[in-house]
Amino acid sequence: MSERSDAALIALRQILRATEINSRALAKSSGLTPSQLILLQVLSKSGRETAGTIAREVSLSQATVTTLIDKLEALGAVKRYRDEGDKRRVMVELTQIGRSTLEETPDSLQERFETRFRKLADWEQSFLIAALERVALLLDAEDLDAAPVLDIGGIDSPGPA
């Protein structure tokens, strides 16, 4: 292998390891996956939403979001109820347990990335996106289903595989 490909592979491995370490730390400190945490954060901003609205907000399928909600509801972090105005709609709301969990959970790797990424100049953001998309292409990963969540394994899995 060349020095450049080694450097690229090392950087990729560092990203994978950082994601894995963050997922394990999050699971240990809060019992949540990064995907579950993001769902709670969405609900903390909006108050209550439908599963479909949450799915669009976090770029996940409604089926995946429903699975995440099921798990969060079992933990007591969210609750479901029928909308008063339209009984066909099921709303999801953050509970006090969910709020406490969010308050006690340290910033995630994803939040740090988003904060730092937003501070980059537009050209730098575009450059990084293009480079990462190219890496996905080099790894034949461009067609894999993925959400904008820094997590390993399945989006609705209980933690690192």
Backbone phi, psi, residue 82, to 5°: -75, 140
Separation of alpha carbons 129 and 27, rounded Å: 28
Are residues 50 and 92 in contact, defined by beta-carbon separation less than 8 angstroms? yes
The chain-wide mean pLDDT, for the chain, equals 86
pLDDT in tens, 53-76: 998 888 888 888 999 999 999 999
pLDDT at 36 over 60: yes
Spell out the residues 6+ positions from residue 62 whose beta carbon is closer than 8 angstroms to its own: 51, 52, 55
Domains in the chain, CATH or no CATH each: 3-138 (1.10.10.10)
The whole-number average pLDDT for the span 27-33 is: 82
Reported confidence tier of residue 84, pLDDT bands at 50, 70, 90 = confident
**Please, where are the H alpha helices in 75-139?**
96-104, 109-119, 122-138
Query: How high is the pLDDT of residue 154?
Result: 57
**Whole-number pLDDT of residue 158:** 47
Which residues, 6 or more positions from 116, have their beta carbon under 8 angstroms from its beta carbon? Answer: none
